[in-house]
């Protein structure tokens, strides 16, 4: 009970300290709005409420990192809004709006933690960094705003101002991608590939966020605070559509996982074999810098790579296809391919499975094109077949030795190296000390 109480008090104390720090910074900097002006107070309250709600209604799912599109768009609009409806410049500056944003993010993160919801410090930090970069470039560099004084006219035409804000928003969102990529790259070998995947996967949403933030800032002077919910409403509809899409993807993956367990239930393969192959193949694929789309197809193929064994009259001992005769391997692969192609929706995974039994020498000696994902699946499946799911040092050592015997002939040396790096990072690489036990 005491431990549970301590776990709840610790984040509460950290959140209170963060909010107190924000308040102190605002007070010391004398950077706050003129609260006696109704328009200014209502505008700040509207943006704060939008950020709070946006942080609460986050989106996440398989192959999609956690994001808060409503909060990000509202925060960008908060940064870019420099004029009130009566034409006066806002009196608050970067310190105040960053303090408000940080406090809103902290409060929602704390509530989500206390209610058992997922909180990602990396994604949260990335969002705040994007707002900070936008504030620095627009408020400090471009407008040159002096704390405690209203923003002056920048002398740009409306279309020029819109283009500038859009460019700054893109840079800010790239800063978010940089932060999250750097954190994720600690678990992956290729930083640049990870960054490209991040930008590619978030480009449509980032474009919508940048445009929405700019539209809010341009609409506040003529419309006032109602411009914030008005221009966020299309994102709300997109949010619901995206959540439905994520739900469908999750159901789709769960269906594939259920189908992959068919061979386990029928006794053709050891329990959990396909799951282990999929997990290891994903780790090796990340180490080799595969983009997220190819990783998804690799996972589907790995989960279903042994489904063709259900057509066997006599099961292979231990389900180890690597120990079967080449003709039997080809027959099982053909049956697997036929079953997967029957689904009509797994063509990319079927391409991987089509080459899963092809020896690497076919590419080296005859120039046959074997996808990297197929070569990964072949190596990982061989390792799992040879260990039989065992974590014992002797089983792992024997599996690695057998794979080395086929290095360059059956297996791609680069993929084998990536597998060994993964095993080493996971503490599963065999050491002489383990073998002497």
| pLDDT score for 168 | 92
Identify the band that residue 260 occupies on the pLDDT scale cut at 50, 70 and 90: confident
Most confident region among 199-203, 269-273, 327-331 by mean pLDDT: 269-273
Domain boundary among 199, 220, 249: 249
| pLDDT score for 4 | 47
d(CA 221, CA 227): 9
pLDDT at 179 over 80: yes
| pLDDT score for 167 | 92
Find the range with the poorest average confidence among 46-50, 78-82, 272-276, 366-370: 366-370
Average pLDDT, the chain: 78
Instruction: Please report whether residue 298 resides in a domain.
Output: yes
The predicted-structure confidence for 186-221, as pLDDT tens digits, reads as follows: 655 566 666 776 677 677 777 888 888 888 888 888
Instruction: Please report whether residue 380 resides in a domain.
Output: yes
Instruction: Please report whether residue 33 resides in a domain.
Output: yes
Q: Is residue 120 located within the same domain as residue 183?
A: yes
Contacts of 261 (CB under 8 A, 6+ apart): 274
The predicted-structure confidence for 281-305, as pLDDT tens digits, reads as follows: 988 888 887 877 788 888 888 888 8
Q: Is residue 275 located within the same domain as residue 245?
A: no
Instruction: Please report whether residue 257 resides in a domain.
Output: no
Q: Is residue 288 located within the same domain as residue 344?
A: yes
Q: Is residue 213 located within the same domain as residue 273?
A: no
Instruction: Please report whether residue 167 resides in a domain.
Output: yes
d(CA 437, CA 394): 10
Domain boundary among 249, 278, 299: 249
Find the range with the poorest average confidence among 141-150, 168-177, 395-404: 141-150
Helix (H) / strand (E) element for 86: namely: none
Domain count within the chain: 2
Q: Give the CATH number of the domain where residue 339 resides.
A: 1.10.3210.10
> If you average pLDDT over residues 83-110, what whole number do you get?
82
Q: Is residue 239 located within the same domain as residue 274?
A: no
d(CA 67, CA 246): 13
DSSP string, 405-431: HTBTTTB-HHHHHHHHHHHHHTT-S--
Q: Where are the alpha helices (DSSP H) in 30-88?
A: 38-56, 69-80
Task: Assess contact for 379 and 298: CB atoms under 8 A.
Answer: no
Q: Is residue 153 located within the same domain as residue 30?
A: yes
Identify the band that residue 2 occupies on the pLDDT scale cut at 50, 70 and 90: very low
Q: Is residue 203 located within the same domain as residue 277?
A: no
The predicted-structure confidence for 354-364, as pLDDT tens digits, reads as follows: 888 888 888 77
DSSP summary character for residue 136: I
Identify the band that residue 259 occupies on the pLDDT scale cut at 50, 70 and 90: confident
Task: Assess contact for 137 and 94: CB atoms under 8 A.
Answer: no
In the chain, what percentage of residues exceed pLDDT 70? 80
d(CA 234, CA 257): 35
pLDDT at 239 over 50: yes
pLDDT at 326 over 60: yes
Q: Is residue 332 located within the same domain as residue 405?
A: yes
∠212-214-220 over CA atoms, to 5°?
A: 100
pLDDT at 136 over 70: yes
Q: Which residue has the higher pLDDT, 311 or 409?
A: 409
Domain boundary among 249, 284, 310: 249
The predicted-structure confidence for 418-436, as pLDDT tens digits, reads as follows: 888 888 877 766 544 444 4
pLDDT at 183 over 70: yes
Instruction: Please report whether residue 258 resides in a domain.
Output: no
Domain range enclosing 133: 2-249
Q: Is residue 304 located within the same domain as residue 243?
A: no
pTM for the model: 0.70
Instruction: Please report whether residue 141 resides in a domain.
Output: yes
- Dihedral (Cα; 385, 387, 391, 392), 10-degree rounding: 170
Q: Which residue has the higher pLDDT, 48 or 67?
A: 48
In the chain, what percentage of residues exceed pLDDT 90? 5
Q: Is residue 357 located within the same domain as residue 403?
A: yes
pLDDT at 24 over 60: no
Q: Is residue 232 located within the same domain as residue 323?
A: no
Q: Is residue 214 located within the same domain as residue 99?
A: yes
Instruction: Please report whether residue 261 resides in a domain.
Output: no
């Amino acid at each position: 009970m005491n431990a549970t109480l301590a776990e709840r008090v610790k984040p509460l104390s950290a959140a209170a300290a963060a909010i107190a720090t924000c308040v102190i910074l605002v007070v010391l900097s004398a950077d706050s709005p003129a609260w006696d002006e109704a328009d200014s107070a209502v505008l700040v309250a509207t943006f704060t409420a939008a950020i709070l709600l946006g942080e609460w209604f986050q989106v996440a799912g398989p192959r999609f990192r956690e994001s808060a599109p409503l909060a990000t768009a509202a925060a960008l609009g908060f940064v870019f809004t420099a004029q009130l409806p009566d034409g006066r410049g806002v009196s608050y500056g970067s310190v105040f709006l960053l303090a408000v944003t940080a406090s809103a993010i902290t409060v929602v993160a704390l509530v989500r933690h206390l209610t058992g919801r997922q909180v990602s410090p990396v994604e949260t930090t990335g969002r705040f960094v994007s707002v900070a970069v936008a504030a620095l470039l627009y408020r400090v560099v471009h407008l040159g705003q002096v704390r405690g004084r209203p923003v002056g006219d920048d002398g740009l035409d409306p279309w020029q101002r819109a283009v500038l804000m859009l460019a700054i928003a893109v840079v800010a969102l790239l800063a978010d991608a940089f932060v999250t990529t750097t954190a994720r790259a600690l678990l992956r070998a290729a930083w640049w590939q990870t960054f490209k995947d991040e930008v590619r996967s978030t480009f449509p949403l980032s474009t919508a966020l940048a445009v929405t933030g700019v539209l809010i800032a341009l609409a506040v002077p003529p419309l006032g605070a109602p411009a914030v919910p008005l221009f966020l409403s299309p994102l709300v509809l997109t949010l619901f559509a995206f959540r439905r899409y994520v739900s469908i993807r999750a159901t789709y993956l769960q269906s594939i996982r259920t189908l992959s367990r068919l061979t386990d239930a029928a006794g053709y393969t050891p329990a959990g074999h396909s799951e282990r192959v999929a997990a290891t193949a994903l780790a090796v694929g990340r180490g080799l810098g595969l983009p997220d789309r190819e990783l998804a197809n690799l996972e589907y193929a790995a989960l279903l790579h042994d489904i063709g064994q259900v057509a066997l009259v006599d099961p292979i001992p231990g389900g180890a296809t690597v120990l079967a005769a080449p003709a039997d391997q080809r027959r099982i692969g053909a049956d697997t391919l036929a079953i997967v192609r029957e689904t009509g929706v797994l063509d990319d995974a079927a391409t991987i499975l089509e080459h899963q039994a092809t020896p690497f020498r076919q590419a080296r000696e005859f120039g046959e094109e074997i996808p990297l994902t197929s070569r990964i699946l072949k190596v990982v499946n061989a390792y799992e077949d040879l260990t039989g799911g065992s974590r014992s040092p002797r089983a792992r050592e024997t599996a690695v030795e057998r794979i080395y015997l086929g290095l360059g002939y059956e297996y791609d040396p680069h993929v084998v190296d990536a597998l060994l790096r993964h095993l080493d990072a996971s503490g599963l690489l065999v050491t002489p000390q383990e073998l002497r036990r």
